[in-house]
Amino acid sequence: MLNVNGLTISFTSREGTTRAVDNVNFSVTAGSTTAIIGESGSGKSVSCYGLLGLIPQPPGRIESGSALFLDTDLLRLDKHALRQIRGRDIAMVFQDPMTCLNPYMRVGAQLMEPLHYHRGASQSEAKRQALDLMAEVGIRDPEITINYYPYQFSGGMRQRVMIAMALINEPSLLIADEPTTALDVTVQAQILKLLSDIQLRRNIGILMISHDLAVVADIADQIIVMQEGKVVECGDRAAIFERPQHPYTRKLLASIPQGQKIPSSISPNPLVSVRNLCSWFKQDNETVKAVNDVSFDIYRGEVLGLVGESGSGKSTLGRSLLNLVPATSGQILFDGHEVISLAASELKSLRRRMQIIFQDPFASLNPRMTVYDTLAEPLLLHKLETRSSAAERVLEIMDEVGLARSYVRKYPHEFSGGQRQRIAIGRALASRPDFIVADEAVSALDVTIQAQILDLMKTLAQEYGLTMLFISHDLAVIRQLADRVVVLQNGEIVEQAETTALFEHPQQDYTRRLLEAIPGKSLL
């Protein structure tokens, strides 16, 4: 149905011309799914957007190639003809549905508009079709929700609305760009299921762009692996997963988190004890119980996994342990000290002993400070080093987290995401803390980088004898790292158990649902 041949796209900037996409071939057949896999910057999105004329030209330029779609070459069409095809025969689903919906317009109106204006359906006919579509993509109570504004939907429901919009004109090809990356695992599983249901029912072709091999493992028929603008390997699913040829594909496969942690030596006395902790806050005159009556212990030397979907309160919980978010009531004991009611001076000395690593290494480093300034700050603040001795310690930390010493005077924007996360880890470890909260510390990273950072954290945790609260929505990652797991839902603990026990004999329905939603289970 779609046949792309020798597609080459280049971008010209002040530094020169780079080939973002270099001689790429792939095809999509009706009723099947082709997945393009690659890390950020691999050219996977550019190649798809290029087909539809959605890259700005200049600086972009399609140098050569053809893209036959139902006997028309998309690359030879003028803007107007391309616009006709786009949206009618080829529809797109994007990563972030919130930015693609008009926030000031009711969802129903947004669905009905094209039906009404472009297809000449009467108002009532358009409404009926919109309701049908909403039902088809699994939106509950379409009669009521058709009058909702986008913000009234959850992320997963918004993505369903986007899919419904994509289906309005009955396209024969659906391009889905990381359609589930912004979603929770359980929702991701539902959306992937929905996409394959629609495909079966309507016999359409799907071209899916993803950075995550595990996500496409269950639904892709053909897999294209891209690296630095080139296709390094392509083949059907079985071939890619069972007989990967290219070293990069093997590396990607090896990066899918699997296996589990060898239990660390855990002392029986807890370092952190949480009792009846509540963290509530007011939002629009409603009390949001982000964390509600939670009690658990974290033992010395243990990695405790905290898992839950977005909105489960796991980040708030992690932050309130460090007194970054005020707790409403309850008790947090850190090595015998009550954290919540501590005076500022005592808190400062406690802060040296507990640190946090954030999810987004682009936001967690001060863009105006060099690596040296960032890493030296905790050393000087807690008087662990003098100004003259700090430099040596900073360089040692850089060694430990795997950053070249020569980078010491560089600024965050000069580093990649993985390197920045290493700086953030270095900053957290600089004051030699006993306890670290890692809040989705690897979720924003490409899979291969994610694997490296996880390895680094494992090694350092052992070396330093760290106690860690590892917060993640990704159970596969938790399994690799955690000794025990706490499952959080709507601010309350649903289940806590040893990692092995939790994975093999989950006691609660919610835990079972989470386990079933792990992408690429078939691979484990």
Q: Taking contact as CB under 8 A, which single stretch among the options 129-137, 317-325, 328-336, 494-502 is the one that binds another protein? A: 317-325
Nearest approach, Cβ of 412 to another protein (angstroms)? 9
Nearest approach, Cβ of 16 to another protein (angstroms)? 14
Residue of the chain from 266, 408, 523, 524 that contacts another protein (CB under 8 A): 408
Q: Residue 139, SS3? A: coil
Q: What are phi and psi of 210, to 5 degrees?
A: -155, 155
Nearest approach, Cβ of 334 to another protein (angstroms)? 13
Nearest approach, Cβ of 55 to another protein (angstroms)? 18
Of the pair 52, 424, the CB lying nearest another protein is at 424
Of the pair 258, 443, the CB lying nearest another protein is at 443
- Residue indicated by tokens 């797109």: 92
Of the pair 15, 78, the CB lying nearest another protein is at 15
Relative to beta strand 484-489, strand 303-307 is: parallel
Residue of the chain from 81, 200, 254, 363 that contacts another protein (CB under 8 A): 363
Q: Which tokens sit at 5?
A: 């041949």
Of the pair 300, 427, the CB lying nearest another protein is at 427
* Count of residues that interact with another protein, criterion CB under 8 A: 50
Nearest approach, Cβ of 406 to another protein (angstroms)? 5
Q: What does the per-residue mask of binding to another protein show for 415-444, with x meaning CB under 8 A?
A: ---------x--x---x-------------
Q: What does the per-residue mask of binding to another protein show for 319-348, with x meaning CB under 8 A?
A: x--x-x-------------------x--xx
Q: What are phi and psi of 316, to 5 degrees?
A: -60, -40
Of the pair 128, 410, the CB lying nearest another protein is at 410
Contact between 364 and another protein (CB under 8 A)?
yes
Nearest CA among 64, 467, 109 for reference residue 305: 467
Nearest approach, Cβ of 199 to another protein (angstroms)? 36
Max Cα-Cα span within the chain: 78
Nearest approach, Cβ of 370 to another protein (angstroms)? 6
Nearest approach, Cβ of 419 to another protein (angstroms)? 13
Q: Please report, as a single letter, which amino acid is at residue 156.
A: G
Residue of the chain from 68, 121, 239, 395 that contacts another protein (CB under 8 A): 395
Give the CB-side neighbour count of residue 182, counting CA atoms within 13 A: 16
**Are the beta carbons of 216 and 249 closer than 8 angstroms?**
no
Q: Taking contact as CB under 8 A, which single stretch among the options 67-75, 213-221, 258-266, 369-377 is the one that binds another protein? A: 369-377
Of the pair 113, 377, the CB lying nearest another protein is at 377
Q: How far apart (Å, rounded) are the C-alpha atoms in residues 298 and 321?
A: 11
Expressed in angstroms, the distance from the first to the final Cα of the chain is 33
Nearest approach, Cβ of 338 to another protein (angstroms)? 17
Contacting residues for 319 by C-beta, under 8 A, at least 6 apart: 325, 356, 437, 439
Contact between 127 and another protein (CB under 8 A)?
no
Contact between 281 and another protein (CB under 8 A)?
no
Of the pair 352, 513, the CB lying nearest another protein is at 352
Nearest approach, Cβ of 325 to another protein (angstroms)? 9
Contacting residues for 345 by C-beta, under 8 A, at least 6 apart: none
The three state secondary structure string of 267-328 is CCCEEEEEEEEEEEEEECCEEEEEEEEEEEEEECCCEEEEECCCCCCHHHHHHHHCCCCCCC
**Are the beta carbons of 475 and 185 closer than 8 angstroms?**
yes
Of the pair 266, 369, the CB lying nearest another protein is at 369
Q: Residue 383, SS3? A: coil
CA distances from 115 to 16, 134, 195 (A): 45, 14, 22
Contact between 411 and another protein (CB under 8 A)?
yes
Of the pair 262, 343, the CB lying nearest another protein is at 343
C-alpha angle 236/242/244, rounded to 5°?
75
Residue of the chain from 239, 384, 391, 523 that contacts another protein (CB under 8 A): 391
Give the CB-side neighbour count of residue 132, counting CA atoms within 13 A: 10
**336 phi-psi bin (left φ>0, alpha ψ -120 to 50, beta other):** left
Q: Which tokens sit at 309?
A: 């979907």
Residues found near another protein in the complex (CB under 8 A): 319, 322, 324, 344, 347-349, 351-352, 354-356, 358-360, 363-373, 376-378, 381-382, 387-388, 390-392, 394-395, 405-411, 413-414, 424, 427, 431
